Amino acid sequence: MTQYTIVTDLNRCVSCLNCMVACKEANDVPIGNFWIKILRVGPNPKFEGAEYPDVEMYYLPVSCQHCKNPSCVEVCPTGASHKTENGTIQVDKDKCIGCQFCVMACPYGVRYLNEEQGVVEKCTRCYQKTQEGELPACVVSCGGRARWFGDMDKGWDDFRGSLDANGEPLRLTDEDYIKPFTDADVHSLPDSGNHPSDRFILRNRVWR
Amino acid sequence: MEVQYPLVFFTLFLCLSSGMLLFQGVCALRGAGTKKFHTAMLAAELVVLAVGGFSSFLHLHHWERIFNGFGHLTSGITQELIGIVVTVVVLAVLFGVLRKAEDGERVLPKWCGILAVVVGVIMGFVCAHSYFMPARPAWANLTLYLYYYASELVLGAAGTWLLAAALHEDEAVGALLAKLTCVMGIVSALAILVAGFYWTTISFGDVGYSFHTTDPTASLPDPSAALAAPMAGSLAGLFWGGAVVVGSLVAVVAGFFGMKKAEQALPLSAAALVCSLMGGVCFRVVLYAVGVSFYVYF
Amino acid sequence: MLDSSLTRRSFFKIAAATAGATLVASEAASTLLESSNPAYADAADDVKVIHSTCRGCGKMECGNLVTVRNGRVVHIEGDHRAVASRGNLCVKGRAAVQALYHPDRIRYPLIRTTPKGQDPKWRRVSHDEAIKYMADGLNSVIEKYGQHAIKTLHGTGRITTYATEAYPTYLLQTANTGSPAGVICKGPRLSAAAMICFPGAHWCNLIDGQKVNFQWGTNQEVSNYDNSCRVTVDEHVKAETTICVGPRMQNLGKEADIWLDLRPGTDDAIALGLLHQCVFNSNCHPDMMFVKKWTNAPFLYCEDIEPSGWTWAGWGDPEGKQEMGSYPLNVRTRILKESDLVEGGDVRKMAYWDTKSNSLQFFDTKKCLWQGQTEYQYPDRDKDCVEYKGGILAKDPGFPVDIDPALEGSFEVELKDGRKVKAEPVWEMFKRHLKPWDENHTSEITGVAPEKIVAAAEAYCEEPGKGGIVFNLPLEHAGNSIQTSMLPLMLSALMNNIDSPGGQRGCENMFFTMDTFFQYHIPWANNTLDPVEQAKVVGGDRFPLTPWFQMVGGAALYHDPISAAEAILYDDPYPIRGMLSNSGQHFNSGNAWQNWQAFESLDFYGGWELWHSPTIELADVVLPAAHFLEVSVLRYTQGGEGAIGAQVQCVKRQGEASWDSADICGELSKEMGYEYWPTQNKPLPVWPDKWMKPWPTEKDMLDMSVLPMNPDLPFPISVPAPDGTQLHVKDWDDYVAQYQEHSQWNLKEISPFGYYYRFQWGHFRPRNAEDQNAPFVPGFNTPTGKFELLSTLLESYHGKNTKWQEAPGSYNGIPGYREPVESPFSAPELYKEYPIILTSGRRNPLYFHNEGRQQPWLRELTPCPSFQIHPDTAAELGIEQGDWCWIESKRGKIRECADLFYGIRPGTIECDHQWWYPELSAPKHGWDLSNVNVLVNMDHESQDPICGTCNCRAYLVKVYKATPENSPFGNPCPCDDDGTEIIHTATDPRLKEWLPTYEYEVV
């Protein structure tokens, strides 16, 4: 099995917004719509009763989570939204009737109706690039080298990120770039039964 | 979530149509109703279904592609379409039976009544089920079924009563339907209240303070306030005034008086139907407003 | 699965596919420039990837790869080989195509047809007519009012526009030159550092790594200010300890180990507190060898003598010379000199007490020699040096003669008049000055918990060499810019991080690295102004060092905008009636309303711009500037990463746009009757005549910029790397061709930047240009030849009993603390009415100051301005997330929307800066609705007393919710004069009207 996944090291994400613009360019996303958005979580008090400056914060880049049990696919009447062999969820625009039930069914609000085309769109995980062996735009462009792409079924060793000076993608296992983390530091977005596949690494603070 | 009016009217008319079919079945089981009445009922159900179907098409952006692979069975829309096809088939069957029937006797056999009731019950489920989405906690619970059934029942009873009154059906039939309208109004009001109350008990995950760079003028998400808004908040007017009073209690009162004053059946049943339609719209609008995402930040 | 990275072939496939969809609307045939440069994509159906350098912001040198298809830029990405940026390319650089092809770009010369203050109703004219109009306008002002009646307005410098900044000095001979934005950003840092060590010392090298990553008032991870986001995050993560200083939790600051959350405007206080720890805390171990040998700490100071001195940085004197020239300064110090003790003694010889011989000795500050020293001491390449990350790292070999200068004690000396006086080392005074700043006192002033101050100091000062301190403009904004900017450098110096790996390496303004090339394309042969004329700069009466600062280079080429506005409005001290602007806004420094009214009243105002931004709508004539993707120029990191590269013209210029700096300035000077590069002034007598061209072409200028790299020079100009390596290029085209192959060069490999601690090697002082055999002189280019803990220039001009204001809080030239002029403590009455402290200038990655508001990919990501406020403060004021609010100071009020941010001090707000609304109508384009400079001070008291920086942060405001009742048009949302709302959502349809156009309207 293959499960293409993006892992974001939230301790390295500084909200440079590169992923948002690189995505727009790579995928011709209409103005006013986004395939990836960054939520600033906090600052919040570090613990109950804590006050400024005892606060903590992180930035959360959210795009389609390419769920294992995708609600969007379940509600799609035409099979336009479907799960592919590499574990990603894709929308076949020729089949989409624009009913937007998938938009309603997605817990993460990552789908929208492309008004001009009358079909629903979302992150394809840069399908046009990944099928050529390249990395998604949000991964290569990431200013803080926070985003990593790989096959979760193969484990952390498979994950690659932004390019090094020789043009080779860095590895998530390179501790010069990715500080050690434990299983407890690895999180996913809240699950309403859809089983999101993307993962977020967050050390030293409360995942909210 | 933004209100999807085509879907509001689709489910409204679907409930009306299948509710009428259901009560037509009830009449048939009791041997009530003339051939004319039953024929008119079938015609009305078909027309209302068509209006609802048309409304749903307005929601689609590429309805022409509906034949491109339509039929993904887990999809609520597919289930609804199947349900509509089944309904149409049943209507045709009933029509066929009716054509052979003679007035003055039981115009529809019992199995027809059972068939109509079963289809009506299934359609209520199908209608609710397509909106049962774990991503939207206000929808992903039993109250959704409760409400859509309540909506189907009050609309169906009032619609059936109106047609009976308009066609000057037997006073007993009228009184029965008035009584059903009255009872269904109570059921509707209770279902709405149960739903409204239940929403206030839903809890959401909370990330504390948050900010979306793309939307600096947005207020902090407050799902609990959104879900409390119908009972006591910005949606109280729509909820209490629209859905409960106009949408349910008018039917109760009309039905109550209609049981005794047969001569007022037409205006009373008309009022009951119009008001429960209005209430149905109100409540569906409320449903979208409380349909906030499970992960409210996106 | 991903064994190969981006392959070229597949990249093109994708680029072509996506570009076809997004950018290339129609395939109009496009021919390219006359230039022979092979990098240009000039054939039809051609796709080329050009290695260039981004100029999406004003600062960072990010190498980029520009994909050009059929003569159009279709894609830009970062160059992973670029040593300074490591493949980084921020949103501004990515979205540059949306500026290049923006429908609203100015593409033709325009002359106004209506009175100023109204929509100018621009009329298109020919290029020649516009040049003539501008020349006549400027000449008539000069004829009537003299040379200084012209001032410049410039925003953050871009290398491509440097000539524009400097041009008026060179050619029009006005002292009111440069970028007034420099006075509020970077100029004070350069100026302060020039006073005590070397200009640019605030820039750190991060690519060599740091043990402690010390970010002070920065937001580099989103501003990319001289260290790119990627490098900043890389090195922050790799560092052992990270320290962040600032009143709000910053993007990367969220990861800091120690956060010094100071009250806005108390950076000087926290610096003094950290210095106190460094000096007095036994867990801190400053590098005392550096202190003794390289600072003026051992020099004896005597309060009982009259200050005396000499004229330093005299005309033609290499000593004291700065990047752009010299300006004579009168050093007057109470440091004990030979001339104080002995009749006929040398005023340049400064006294210290040698504990080994137990005697008074002298250091010759002119020759930089200790007593008894006859030859310069350089580290031994074999004994003292190791290679470190491609550079030569020397350990200090110690004193060249057998001495040990005393830092402590008090010494009785006999003056030449026979008086016996006490003198003490500067170090004693320095310690006395720091003594009160223990953690508790510092905490009381700054609001930072005492234990955090101690922890930060102990982490940074545990041992010398943990890395430099990256500090940025917040230190300049609270009315004490020069002194505050000196203090972190002193802390860094005590810990031996001056020019260390990861330390304060400077770059652009440094001798010998600068000689790798010429000043970009600026007329290098020009002298600057006669010092008598230069002293006439507006504000010079209050800020006597300004003319010298103007020599320091870069952003220090400024004049005081508040004084300039007064000269325009009140003819005080003389009238300024004309202005030249280039990407400058009236709201970049000083009070925006005062500047607007001033500029509106000018007799003549001409400029060149990309956009119809507000200020240019007051102009008489505007010429279209070329976009950076349309201009070639040499590129060089101003900051500490030390890289050199090229910006390569990728596409043909649109309409009649021209390279403002080279073309417009050249043509304008010709039309005005000046030589652009005056042929009478050769930089050296041996300079060949063929290099003296009065009106050089663009190609001439580009060739000239790389001339020092030419191997066939009749005499050497550039100094090689430690191993002798130099970059050799024939001409500009050759340089570009080599750049395509190599990407950025690390200056360590091709210039003396390859030495760390260049003060040991003599690379921090200029050398006699006439004598190629002159030795390199170790030391610093300051009056004492030392890193000055006691700034003799501060003492001379802003010390006790000088003609000018004494530097607040200073102690005989040792910098001190100044409470912000409007603060709860300094202005308690005002505080009652304006109970919120405002700070400003947090960086948004999308916008470089006022830029980018009309690029859809940027604007949709932050459609409108917000201010950060602590939720408790917001609750007290009845403000909720997203509410439009009024922010009001004594000077004016603006609206921004509230962002409830727990990471900011209660009672403090942080406002977005530099907003205007391109969607609103001319002439104002809504600049007065949300621009924070509407609120800033224009009085003299709140300015920095040394250079005039206006008080941009840490002043008092009140904040209240905007309601229909208190807002124009009954609309809390800011509106145009006709009630049209600004764009405040990503879905506003006006954003789509700004998408690229390839068939722009020919006006």
Q: Are C513 and C153 in contact (CB under 8 A)?
A: no
Q: Check residue A28 and give left, alpha or beta (phi > 0: left; psi -120 to 50: alpha).
A: left
* B209 reaches C (C-beta below 8 A): yes
- Is the predicted pLDDT of residue C839 greater than 60, yes or no? yes
* Chain A residue closest in CA terms to B298: A109
Does any domain span residue A168?
yes
Contacts of C535 (CB under 8 A, 6+ apart): C175, C544, C547
* Chain A residue closest in CA terms to C448: A53
Closest residue by Cα to residue C54 from C31, C38, C73: C73
CB contact under 8 A, A43 and B135: no
**What ipTM is given for this predicted complex?**
0.98
Residues B66-92, mean pLDDT to the nearest whole number: 89
**Distance of alpha carbon A13 from alpha carbon C233, whole angstroms:** 9
Strands (E), C432-591: 469-471, 578-582
Residues A119-127, mean pLDDT to the nearest whole number: 97
* Chain B residue closest in CA terms to C985: B215
Residues C850-879, mean pLDDT to the nearest whole number: 98
Is residue C528 very low, low, confident or very high in pLDDT (cuts 50, 70, 90)?
low
Does any domain span residue A88?
no
* A108 reaches C (C-beta below 8 A): no
- Strands A4-9, A147-151: pairing kind: antiparallel
Contacts of C91 in chain B (CB under 8 A): none
- Is the predicted pLDDT of residue C662 greater than 70, yes or no? yes
Chains that touch A (3 or more CB pairs under 8 A): B, C
Closest residue by Cα to residue C580 from C672, C518, C655: C672
What pLDDT, on a 0 to 100 scale, did the predictor assign at position C674? Answer: 85
Q: A168-175 long-range CB contacts below 8 Å, 24 or more apart? A: A168/C5, A169/A135, A169/A140, A169/C2, A169/C5, A170/A145, A172/A7, A172/A148
Q: How many Å lie between the alpha carbon of B288 and the closest alpha carbon of chain C?
A: 21
Least confident of B65-69, C484-488, C774-778: B65-69
What pLDDT, on a 0 to 100 scale, did the predictor assign at position C10? Answer: 34
Q: How many Å lie between the alpha carbon of B296 and the closest alpha carbon of chain A?
A: 8
* B213 reaches C (C-beta below 8 A): yes
**Which residues of B have a CB under 8 Å from any CB of A?**
1, 4, 59-63, 65-66, 68-72, 74-78, 81, 130-131, 133-136, 140, 205-214, 291, 293-295, 297-298
- Is the predicted pLDDT of residue C46 greater than 90, yes or no? no
CB contact under 8 A, A16 and C91: yes
Q: What is the mean pLDDT of chain A?
A: 96
Contacts of B213 in chain C (CB under 8 A): 861-862
Contacts of C863 in chain A (CB under 8 A): none
- Using omega within 30 degrees of 0 as the cis cutoff, is the peptide bond preceding C573 cis? yes
> pLDDT for B255-281, tens place per residue?
999 999 889 999 999 999 999 999 999
The pair of three-digit structure tokens given for residue C57, joined into one six-digit string: 């912001």
> pLDDT for C591-636, tens place per residue?
999 999 999 999 999 999 999 999 999 999 999 999 999 999 989 8
What pLDDT, on a 0 to 100 scale, did the predictor assign at position C27? Answer: 26
Q: Map tokens 């508001």 to a residue.
A: C853
Q: What is the mean pLDDT of chain C?
A: 91
| Alpha helix segments (H runs only) across C828-909 | 828-833, 856-859, 871-876
**Distance of alpha carbon C942 from alpha carbon C944, whole angstroms:** 7
Is residue C43 very low, low, confident or very high in pLDDT (cuts 50, 70, 90)?
low
Q: Map tokens 């400079």 to a residue.
A: C933
Contacts of B2 in chain A (CB under 8 A): none
- HSE of B270, CA atoms in CB hemisphere, 13 A: 8
> pLDDT for A134-163, tens place per residue?
999 999 999 999 999 999 999 999 999 999
Least confident of A76-85, C269-278, C688-697: C688-697
CB contact under 8 A, C1 and A133: yes
> pLDDT for C405-457, tens place per residue?
999 999 999 999 999 999 999 999 999 999 999 999 999 999 999 999 999 99
How many residue pairs from chains A and C have C-beta atoms closer than 8 A? 174
Mutation pick from A74, A102, A104 vs chain B, by most beta carbons of B within 10 Å, is: A104
**Distance of alpha carbon B208 from alpha carbon B206, whole angstroms:** 6
**Distance of alpha carbon C256 from alpha carbon C254, whole angstroms:** 6
More confident position, C675 or C290:
C290
Contacts of C871 in chain B (CB under 8 A): 209
> pLDDT for C98-112, tens place per residue?
999 999 999 999 999
> pLDDT for C320-371, tens place per residue?
887 777 899 999 999 999 999 999 999 999 999 999 999 999 999 999 999 9
What letter would DSSP give residue C663? I
Q: How many domains does chain A have?
A: 1
Beta bridge partners of C335: C301
Catalytic residue IDs of C? 92
Chains that touch C (3 or more CB pairs under 8 A): A, B
**Distance of alpha carbon C921 from alpha carbon B99, whole angstroms:** 73
- Is the predicted pLDDT of residue C764 greater than 80, yes or no? yes
* B214 reaches C (C-beta below 8 A): yes
The pair of three-digit structure tokens given for residue A104, joined into one six-digit string: 């309603």
Residue among A57, A164, A176 minimizing CB distance to C254:
A57
The pair of three-digit structure tokens given for residue B254, joined into one six-digit string: 């009309």
**Distance of alpha carbon C539 from alpha carbon C329, whole angstroms:** 17
The CATH number given to whatever domain includes residue A179 is: 3.30.70.20
Domain extent at residue A159:
4-67+125-201
Q: Are A52 and A36 in contact (CB under 8 A)?
A: no
- Is the predicted pLDDT of residue A65 greater than 80, yes or no? yes
Residues A126-132, mean pLDDT to the nearest whole number: 94
Q: Map tokens 């979208």 to a residue.
A: B288
CA distance between the termini of chain C? 54
Q: In what order do the strands lie in the sheet with C47-53?
A: C47-53, C63-69, C72-78
Closest residue by Cα to residue C991 from A126, A100, A36, A34: A34
Give backbone dihedrals phi and psi of C579, rounded to 5 degrees, phi first: -145, 145
SS3 annotation, A62-104: EECCCCCCCHHHHHCCCCCEEECCCCCEEECCCCCCCCCHHHH
- HSE of C706, CA atoms in CB hemisphere, 13 A: 27
| Alpha helix segments (H runs only) across C820-900 | 828-833, 856-859, 871-876
- HSE of B56, CA atoms in CB hemisphere, 13 A: 21
The pair of three-digit structure tokens given for residue C737, joined into one six-digit string: 């061709």
Q: How many Å lie between the alpha carbon of C656 and the closest alpha carbon of chain A?
A: 28
Q: How many Å lie between the alpha carbon of C840 and the closest alpha carbon of chain B?
A: 17
- Using omega within 30 degrees of 0 as the cis cutoff, is the peptide bond preceding A43 cis? yes
Least confident of C20-29, C136-145, C965-974: C20-29
Q: How many Å lie between the alpha carbon of B215 and the closest alpha carbon of chain C?
A: 6
Q: How many Å lie between the alpha carbon of C882 and the closest alpha carbon of chain B?
A: 4
> pLDDT for A16-49, tens place per residue?
999 999 999 999 999 999 999 999 999 999 999 9
* Chain B residue closest in CA terms to A76: B75
* Chain A residue closest in CA terms to B212: A39
Residues C791-802, mean pLDDT to the nearest whole number: 97
Is residue C25 very low, low, confident or very high in pLDDT (cuts 50, 70, 90)?
very low
What pLDDT, on a 0 to 100 scale, did the predictor assign at position C527? Answer: 54
Contacts of C984 in chain B (CB under 8 A): 216-217
Closest residue by Cα to residue C720 from C518, C519, C517, C516: C516
**Distance of alpha carbon C884 from alpha carbon C895, whole angstroms:** 6
Closest residue by Cα to residue C92 from C855, C860, C647: C855
Give backbone dihedrals phi and psi of C110, rounded to 5 degrees, phi first: -135, 145
- Strands C47-53, C63-69: pairing kind: antiparallel
What pLDDT, on a 0 to 100 scale, did the predictor assign at position C583? Answer: 82
* B215 reaches C (C-beta below 8 A): yes
- Is the predicted pLDDT of residue C23 greater than 50, yes or no? no
Residue among A62, A77, A192 minimizing CB distance to B135:
A192
Is residue B101 very low, low, confident or very high in pLDDT (cuts 50, 70, 90)?
confident
Residue among A34, A38, A78 minimizing CB distance to B65:
A78
More confident position, C711 or C592:
C592
The pair of three-digit structure tokens given for residue A85, joined into one six-digit string: 């062999």
- Is the predicted pLDDT of residue C11 greater than 70, yes or no? no
CB contact under 8 A, A108 and B210: no
Residue among C871, C902, C985 minimizing CB distance to B215:
C985
What Rg value do the Cα atoms of chain C yield, rounded?
Answer: 28
The pair of three-digit structure tokens given for residue C135, joined into one six-digit string: 């020349």
CB contact under 8 A, C846 and A167: no
Q: Map tokens 């860094």 to a residue.
A: C492
* Chain C residue closest in CA terms to B221: C881
Does any domain span residue A135?
yes
Give backbone dihedrals phi and psi of B195, rounded to 5 degrees, phi first: -60, -50
Residues in chain A: 208
CB contact under 8 A, C229 and A144: yes
Is residue C45 very low, low, confident or very high in pLDDT (cuts 50, 70, 90)?
low
What pLDDT, on a 0 to 100 scale, did the predictor assign at position C134? Answer: 96
- Kindly tell me the number of DSSP H helices and DSSP E strands found in chain A: 5, 12
* Chain B residue closest in CA terms to C902: B209
What pLDDT, on a 0 to 100 scale, did the predictor assign at position C949? Answer: 97
| Helix or strand holding residue C622 (H, E) | strand C621-624
CB contact under 8 A, C89 and A17: no
Helix axes B250-260, B265-290, angle to 10 degrees: 160
- Contact map slice: A 25-64 vs C, CB within 8 A: 25-28, 31-32, 34, 42-45, 52-53, 55-59
Least confident of C297-306, C383-392, C762-771, C994-1003: C994-1003
Give backbone dihedrals phi and psi of C867, rounded to 5 degrees, phi first: -125, 145
**Which residues of A have a CB under 8 Å from any CB of B?**
15, 17, 34, 37-45, 62, 71, 74-80, 94-101, 104-110, 113, 118-119, 189-190, 192-194, 208
- Is the predicted pLDDT of residue C34 greater than 50, yes or no? no
Does any domain span residue A33?
yes
Beta bridge partners of C312: C329
Does any domain span residue A83?
no
* Chain C residue closest in CA terms to B220: C881
What pLDDT, on a 0 to 100 scale, did the predictor assign at position B65? Answer: 86
What pLDDT, on a 0 to 100 scale, did the predictor assign at position B163? Answer: 96
Does any domain span residue A45?
yes
Q: Map tokens 């072509």 to a residue.
A: C16
- Is the predicted pLDDT of residue C24 greater than 50, yes or no? no
pTM for the model stands at 0.94
Contacts of C881 in chain B (CB under 8 A): 211, 218-220
Does any domain span residue A112?
no
Residues C965-974, mean pLDDT to the nearest whole number: 98
Does any domain span residue A151?
yes
- Is the predicted pLDDT of residue C8 greater than 60, yes or no? no
Residue among C860, C900, C901 minimizing CB distance to B214:
C860
- Using omega within 30 degrees of 0 as the cis cutoff, is the peptide bond preceding A53 cis? yes
**Distance of alpha carbon C84 from alpha carbon C748, whole angstroms:** 12
Q: How many Å lie between the alpha carbon of B293 and the closest alpha carbon of chain A?
A: 6
Strands (E), C233-374: 241-245, 258-260, 300-301, 311-312, 329-330, 349-354, 359-364
The pair of three-digit structure tokens given for residue C514, joined into one six-digit string: 């600068």
Residues A74-91, mean pLDDT to the nearest whole number: 95
Least confident of C20-24, C306-310, C624-628, C964-968: C20-24
What pLDDT, on a 0 to 100 scale, did the predictor assign at position C882? Answer: 98
- Is the predicted pLDDT of residue C5 greater than 60, yes or no? no
Cα dihedral sign, C541-C546-C550-C552: positive
CB contact under 8 A, B74 and A75: yes
Mutation pick from A21, A72, A192, A207 vs chain B, by most beta carbons of B within 10 Å, is: A192
**Distance of alpha carbon C65 from alpha carbon A163, whole angstroms:** 14
Residues C184-188, mean pLDDT to the nearest whole number: 94
Q: Map tokens 């009022």 to a residue.
A: B271
